Amino acid sequence: MNEQTGIYEPYVHKQSVEILRAFREAFQCNPEVVYYPGCSSDAAPSQAFPESRVIYVDLTESDIRSLKAKGYEAYCANAHEFVPDASPDVLILLNTGVNPEIASRSLEVGGYVLCNNYYDTADKMHELSLFHFLGVIHSVGDLTWFDAESLDKFWQEVETEEELAARDQSGFFARVVQKQTGKTENVLAEYRKLLEQARENAIRYDMSPDEPLFLDMKLGNVIQRLPRKREGGLFIFKRVFRDVTDTSFTPL
């Protein structure tokens, strides 16, 4: 980092580049414009889409200065107010609290949204009728691949003890149940009771009961939503309608 100017090297994770390249190859997508609001100082899209115009937006001045110093097109602005001067072909939302409905307003039919679910971004995208969920890019070790199998399971909570055990590799849910109830069996049923109590307490303390992670004020414990039957890395959505009044389906 240059201490005098506050400029540092933007970060580029190899895995992030490979995931974005996997999307490009799976959909034969060579976007003219890529829009990345809430980018921090992540310059991976420029390596994944070297021939594209990539527009970076973030509120952190040092991140934007650092991106600009390396020649990237970057703007220090509120992503909820900023509107790109060209309609993007690809919108990237990673580890950001940027509202996807607002960020995608300039995306035309046929445009893609690539996001993870760190701030429930994928969940919020799934609720938008203008978009169609196409699949997920997974990355484990040196392997990166596109997955379009059993997509409905990415939105379904586990329903059996076996499914919970398979998803709960760290034993988080079993530990919470044992700590709060002293029980070691019927973990799923007992955890659902704790969730219901937590939601009631959230309402009582004027907290949102719909947040995926919230503090149960009464139990003094962090209660997390149940895992999904399938969970993914990079979720891919495609815009198929122009607006909420357009009911004509556009082929994918």
Q: What is the mean pLDDT of the chain?
A: 89
| Segments forming the whole domain that contains residue 214 | 157-224
| Residues 103 and 129 occupy one common structural domain | yes
| Residues 81 and 100 occupy one common structural domain | yes
| pLDDT at residue 208 in the model | 65
| Residues 113 and 186 occupy one common structural domain | no
| pTM reported for the whole predicted model | 0.86
Closest C-alpha among 38, 35, 43 to residue 10: 43
Give the total number of structural domains in the chain. Answer: 2
SS3 193: helix
Average pLDDT for runs of 10 along the chain of length 252: 64 94 96 97 97 97 95 97 96 95 95 94 95 96 94 96 92 91 95 86 70 57 84 94 56 45
The angle, 0 to 180 degrees and rounded to 10, between the axes of the packed helices 187-204 and 172-181 is 70
What distance in Å separates the CA atoms of residue 76 and residue 59, rounded to the nearest whole number?
A: 5
| Residues 184 and 112 occupy one common structural domain | no
| Residues 211 and 125 occupy one common structural domain | no
| Residues 147 and 164 occupy one common structural domain | no
| Residues 188 and 119 occupy one common structural domain | no
Handedness of CA 237, 240, 245, 249 (dihedral sign): negative
Residue 83 lies in a domain: yes
| Residues 79 and 68 occupy one common structural domain | yes
| Residues 113 and 51 occupy one common structural domain | yes
